[in-house]
Structure formats: C-alpha cells, structure tokens
Amino acid sequence: MEWWAVGGYICLLCFSFLSTARGSPWMLSFQPGTLYHYHYALAVQLGPVASLSPSGGWLRAQAVVKMHQLHRDPSRDDLLQVQIQDLKALQEPEGTGGPPMDIALNKELQSDLEKPVFISWSSGKIKALYGDETESTLITNLKRGVVSLLQLQAHTGTIVEEDASGSCQVTYTVSNNSIVKTKDLLSCTKPKMGYASVNEMFGIQWQPSSRSLYVVKDSLLQSVLAEENHTLSLVLRSTTGVKISSRQELKLVSSTSGPSVAAEQSLENMLAGTEGQHQPLAIASLPFRRGCTHCPSLRVYLKTFDRQRVKMDVSKVATTWQFQRFIQMLRGAKKRDVLQLLKRAPEDMLPFTVEAAVAAQSVPSLAALSDFLDFSKEPRSLLETFLYAAAFSPRPTKELLRLVLDKLDGKQMVPEVRDTGMVALGSLVGKLCRQQLCGLQEVEHSMETILTGLRSAEKEHEAVTHLLALGNTQLPSTIPTLLEHAEKGPTAVTAAAISSLRQFPAQHITSEVKRAMRKIFHEKRKSYEKTCRLAAAEILLDNTPLPMDVINILLAAHQLGTEAATFLLLKVQSSLQANHHPARKIMNDILRDPRINNYNHFSKAGISSSFSGPLTATKELLSTFGLDLLFLEGGFLRKSVSDFSLLSHDWHLRAAQVTIEAQGMESMLGENTLEGEEGPELTAGMSAIFFDVQLRPITFFQGYTDLMAKVLLSSGEPTSVVKGNLLLMDHHQVIPLQSGLQAVVKLQGGLGLDISANVDVNIWEQELKTSVNTKGSLTIDFQAELDAPFLQTTLRSQTEAETSVYFDTILRFSSSPVLMCLQLREGQVPYREIFTISTSAGNQSSTVRKGRQGTMPAREFALHQANSEMCRLLLMAEEGV
C-alpha cells in the first residue's frame, strides 16, 4: 500500500473517531411535548449591481415561530408542528432613505400564514413536510423557508440535502457548539422551469453563495443565521445585473411545556388528529408564476391594428423594441389571433411579423405559421425570412425544427429556398444538440436529410449548400465527411468544406483534420486552387499551430506567388499582434529566424493584406475587426473577407463575416494571364456568416453577359445581405431563495440588422469599389423580480443603442502600381439606459426611475500606415477629377 493511502486510512479513522466522539453530546432534539418559541427575522434586498441605478430597499419581516414536538416514534423520528405567528413586515423605500413603511397584511393572508405545517424530523434531518396543498404557493414557500432552517447535521461532512432551494450539495463544519453549513447553490436540482440561450455569451452569469451558522447547546437549537447572496449579470456586460441578499435568523426565546401528547400513536393518526388539511408536500419550493397585469395583448392590439401603421426601419431602436413587444404579445396569444395578425399584416410588415412569431416560438405561434406559410406560393424573400429567423433562434425547440422540416419535406420550391432551408436546418440541429437534444427523432431526420442531399447532389452548388449546412451543425461527427469532400472535391466543393471546418472551435481541429489540411496546402495528392490552399493554411494557423506547420507554411509560401506569400506573412504577423492568439510566442520565435523570414522570400511584397485589430474592449468583451484581401498577381481582387468577432470569457463568436469573391476580372481587361489558356469565368459573389450561422451564398453575376445585364438594369442600389430582426438573448431563470421567497431573472435582447453590400466595377475608370454597410440597433431588457406573499418588487434595466459601420474599398487599376484604399468608419452611436424599480406591498406601490443617455462620436479606424498613404493619393486623385 502506498504511504498516502495509509495516511488516508488513518485520517478516515481519526475523522470517524472525532465525529463519534463528538456525536453523543451532539444529538439534536426537541423535548417531547415541549413548546419552543423562536424569534424569526427575515431581511431581503434586490438591488442593481451598478451603483448608478437606484438601489432597491430592504424588505424586513419578523415573527414568532412556535415549534411543538408532538410525537416521537421508536425510530426517533419526531413529528414537529411549526407555526408562524404575528408576522409583521416593513419595507425600506428605495434610494430615498425615507422611513420604513409598514406593510399592511390583510386578515386572510395573516390567517393563511398562521396555519401550521408539520415535519417529520430526525435529529436535524427533515424527512417529510405536511401542509395544506391548496394554499397559495408563495405562502407555503415562506413556510418551507422557515422549515429549511431546521435542516442540519451535527457532524462534519458533505452530503446532498433537500430544502427550499432544492436538492443541493452542502458541507458542514462542526466546531465546539457551532455548525457552519455551506450550500453549493450551483449544484441544486429543482423542478425544471425557465430556459437559456444556447450561446452562453448571450446568457447570464450567476454567482451564488449561501452560508448558515447554527448554535446548539445541550442538544437544543439555540439560533440560526442563514445568509444567501446572488449576483446575476449579463455575460457581455457585468454592469447590467442584480444583487440579491437574503438573511434569515431564528433565535430561541423560551420553552414551555405544552399539552402532552399520547406516545403510541402513528404519525398518520397524529396528523389526522390535528386541525386543518395536511397532505405531504415537496420540501423544495415550487415555482410561482406572476400574473401579468401590464402585458400587451394581441387581442387588444388587433382591434386597432389597421389604424396603427408601424414604421419599420430595422436599424432604429424603436423597431427593435416593437419587435420585443410583439414577441411578448405573441407568447401569450392564441393561434387564431396570431393567424389573423399574419393575414392582416400589410406586405411591408409581414417579414417583421413572421420573425416575431418564430422568435416567440410558442406552440400557437408555430401552428399559425404552419397554416400561413405555403412554400409553393409565398414569395421567396418571405420564406427565406422565416427560415433565417428559425436559424437564428437563440434556443430553438423541437417544435420549431419540426415546422421547418415539414415545410421542406418533399415539396416543390425554388432552389434558393431549398438551399436556405438546408443551411437553416444545419443551424437548428447544432443548437438542439447543444441543448442535449441530439437524440430527438426530428434531429436525426434532419441530419439524414442533409446527408442524403449531399450524397445525391448533382450540381456543384447543391453539394456546396449541404456542406455549409453540415458546418452549421458544428457537430464533430460531421468532420470526416467534410474532410473527404475537402480533399476530393472540385474547387467550389473543397472551398465549402474547408469553410465549414473553419466554423469549428479549436478542440475539434484534431491532428487528423490538420493532416488533411497539410495535404491540401502542400498539394501532396493533387493540386488545389490557391484560395483553397490558403484557407487550409489558415486552419493550421488559427488552431494552436505547431511550430513545424508555421515554418512549413512560410517556407512554401513563395511558391504561391507574391500576393499569396504576402497574404500569408501578414496573416501570421497579424495573428501575432492579436495578443489573444494562443500561438503568439511560437510564431514570434519563428519569424525571428533569418532562414525563414529572409529578404528573398518576402521582399517583393504584393498588395494583398491581412489585418485584424480591436474595435472596442471592455472588461468582459473584446470586439475585433479583421480584413483579409487577396489579390491576383495582376492586381485584381480575388477575395475579400471582413470579419466582426466577439470574444468573451474564452468564447469566440463570429458576429458578422462577409466574404466577397471575384474571378475572371483579368479577362475583362483583355489581359489573359497565360497565352492560349481560358481564364476562369467572370463571376462575383458573396457569402456571409452571422452569429455563427453560415447563410446561403449569393451570386452577384456569373459571366460577362450577366454582368452587363445587371450593370444596365441595376439601380445602383446595394444588394441586401441581411435585413431583419432577431432575438439574440432569451433567458428566464427562477431562483428559489432559501428563505422561501422567489427571485426570477428575465433577459431579452433584440437586434435589428440591415447589412448591404455592393460591388461596383467601372470599366472606363478602371476602378473597382466594394462596400459593406452595416446598420444595427440593439435593445436589451433585463428584469429581476422578487416575490413574497406580501410584496412584489421588479427591477428593470432597459438598454438601447444604434450603430452603423461602413466598410469601403476602392481600387484603381489605371495607375501603376495599383492604388487601393480601405476605409472603415463607424457612425455616431446614440445610446440610452433606463432603470426602474417598482414595488407593490400591502396597499401601497411605488416606482422609481433613473436613466442616462448620450452619443458616442463617429470615428474612423486607422487600419495600417501604407493604407492611409494610398487613401490619401486615391482620394486626392478623385477630387481632382
């Protein structure tokens, strides 16, 4: 036996010795027939985490708690009657520092509160609770809170124990005549209620703590002080949140002999002999649902609907708030009313209504959508709105997936809608799996649909769609399929498979994936198009790269030509600058090696670039902007990727990534690169990822004729990439406090997004302009509620902001060298925050409101020195014309 094992045994022995040694004077009991009077005090506060907002007042209550040992059976199980009497409550008003106000309790409430409960109790352990099951939940919960104070043990150790908080892991530390109980509130299991966003970044951070101090003398419980704190705040913004503090105290005042009780009765007989109703009750608090008095009703809304024309500008916060109100309204509505809303909505409001109905996700809303949407009739754009709304759902349900599956199943529809349907299906599958719902029949059926579609794909773009759908699932089980297509496919298929692999977090980029990427980059088996090789290299570089890979990539880079080599070198360097990159040190060492970073390899720098830098940084959130530009040797743009990412607590979210690709530009200027060789067809297209969902790729034009038709017919308007509202955050959490009070935290975050892109080729000026314009509005509604039988408090924080980001590139071929200018600008950002605390207690109610607003000035981001120089030249030339 190892020495430590021996030590362990000895220690186990000494612990059991200690606990038995202390065990005997530590029997906990109440004397038969004796009536104990305890003084009970409760103090609870719900307040904001930020000092800026008004602070919630304390709720205080005190009472006499009477405990009467009615019966003890031979196995030493006591039947205890616990009764709360003379409860008085008062409320210290919020912020104002005014005098505390008595809360008037009506007669009925008083008498319900005084109805006793019974517990079967054995030396500190509550085995069962009996009471009136018809009583209001909040009143019984308060009694559960008092009873929970009697749940203790007289020896050190960790066990799972049940009380008002649920079944939780608790640790006891016993010393002299005091016992400390620490409860791990994160371990509690309780009746399931509520929901959370799949993406943890859009959720809530919950930090609870609970500690109780018991004093026992002569086997009798003298006092208890139970303290519990909770901090709940947005993951992305810790200053929006609440603190909940709760304190319960019980102090022995006196003991008198009560009416004596017959010894031989059974527990059931004893209970039957007492007054009132007593059914066995759960020891854990039951969730209480607050009635909604000010909730908007769809019924009422529909009455005046035709007169209310909402102006729908998705980039305005007013629209996003309206979106959130709609969701609330639809969550409480009947199918008939939702259907009526959909049927009566004017055309320009219909996408908004469909998005709200999907986000509401109630069974009646989904049923109404199912009736309303006819996939063989509705216009393509509305069907795509529906499918993307489903794909962006923050916490899709199986019913939503079933609806999408039903609509896609075997029906005739335009190919674009089917493609969008597939990528949406992939996203839904991924999100359901992350909610541990991978085993659902609907999920399995969806996977089959995608895989069958992939196997039977005849056209290239069909294979591409299904591979992108697999990428949206982010399921590691799809990786082998993706690898197979990456290695074998024609260019478009390889590109799609690699792009899907890039959706996966680093832990899934295994050595097998890396091996395949090396094969592609170094062209071990067959040759690949340059952009595919670069994408493979990026996977190797982005996921904890091996030094060997970095070296080999840099050494091989020059074979790819000046532009690709420049691109790769800058990629490595920009990864270095981003200090969050895990391989920063390795790459630094490598780049200092003169054999690798030498004059010959990288002196003939091209104009391709790779840039990434922070946009904003707070304690919990870093947002970055990245831009990759890859040119062909002749100076033609081959590919541009602009990326907005969010990094928080080790999570990485691709908030928006827009890729514009162009091919065959050189043929347009009559500059065939190689004699007699047919260059690639003239095409330009775009693909985008939003919130980790890859959308269906869009083609701007394919072929010269198509380009000309589009140029001639074009209104000069940019193509809309995404326009609509989505629910980013959707969270509902019920926290039963040990005191029996209930806290509920609700979070809803809405986003209005309008992104458009444009590629403008001016053949006469020999200019190429691309622009990606993003306008967005964000609204966050955070609410925390506290419910007691005699008080309701709500703390609400409403935050809103509008933003616009413009990203433009101008490229002029007429001059030599080619001039290129990139501009990234952010418009003014108006924002507003409003805090409200409202309380109603007894016959009084009050509301306190506080807020702030402002505007962050517009700004232009300096990208890099060389770029600023080029922009100056180009813009000067423009002005000169």
Ligand X SMILES: *[C@@H]1O[C@H](CO)[C@@H](O)[C@H](O)[C@H]1NC(C)=O
Q: Which residue ranges make up the site for ligand X (CB under 6 A)?
A: 104, 175-176, 209-211, 227, 229, 245, 843
How far is it, in rounded angstroms, from Cα 174 to Cα 161? 17
Using DSSP's 3-state secondary structure scheme, residue 284 falls into coil
Which CA distances in Å does 633 have to 557, 620, 818, 873? Answer: 14, 42, 11, 22
Structure token pair of residue 6: 């021996």
Please, what is the Cα angle at 279 between 273 and 282, to 5 degrees? 140
Query: Which residue number, 221 or 658, has a Cβ lying nearer to ligand X?
Result: 221
User: 496-525 burial string, b = 16+ CB within 10 Å, else e?
Assistant: bbbbbbbbbeeeebeeebbebbbbbbbeee
Beta carbon of residue 740, minimum distance to ligand X (angstroms, whole number): 17
In angstroms, give the least distance from the CB of 105 to ligand X.
9
Least Å distance, CB 17 to ligand X, is: 18
Measured from the CB of residue 839, what is the shortest distance to ligand X in angstroms? Answer: 14
Q: How far is the CB of 833 from ligand X (least distance, A)?
A: 24
Upstream peptide bond of 817 is cis (omega within 30 degrees of 0): yes
Q: How far apart are CA 108 and CA 306, in angstroms?
A: 46
Angle at 450 between CA 447 and CA 454, to 5 degrees: 135
Give the Å distances, CA to CA, from 653 to 142, 372, 411, 429: 42, 34, 34, 18
Residue with Cβ nearer ligand X (11 or 104): 104
Nearer to ligand X (CB atom), residue 22 or residue 325: 22
* Smaller CB separation from ligand X, 211 or 825: 211
Name the residue among 617, 616, 747, 728 with its Cα closest to residue 234: 747
Q: Which is nearer to ligand X, 228 or 628 (CB)?
A: 228
Cα dihedral across residues 329, 330, 331, 334: positive or negative: positive
Q: Which is nearer to ligand X, 436 or 843 (CB)?
A: 843
| 602: Cα separation from own chain's centroid | 43
Comparison of 102 and 409: residue with beta carbon closer to ligand X: 102
Q: Contact at 8 Å (CB) between 757 and 780?
A: no
User: Who contacts 408 (Cβ-Cβ below 8 Å, separation ≥6)?
Assistant: 375, 418, 421, 422, 425, 449
Please say which residue, 52 or 104, places its beta carbon nearer to ligand X: 104
Nearest to 501 by CA among 547, 548, 535: 535
**CB atoms closer than 10 angstroms to residue 426:** 31
Minimum CB separation of residue 540 from ligand X in Å reads 47
- Residue closer to ligand X by CB (options 148, 472) is 148
Nearer to ligand X, 693 or 841 (CB): 841
In the bound complex, what is the minimum distance in angstroms from residue 90's beta carbon to ligand X? Answer: 12
Rounded distance, CA 749 to CA 196, Å?
12
Smallest distance, Å, CB 836 to ligand X? 21
State which H helix or E strand residue 248 sits in.
strand 237-257
Q: How far is the CB of 244 from ligand X (least distance, A)?
A: 10
Q: How far is the CB of 23 from ligand X (least distance, A)?
A: 17
| Of residues 104 and 858, the one with the C-beta less far from ligand X | 104
- Report in angstroms how near the CB of residue 847 gets to ligand X at its nearest: 15
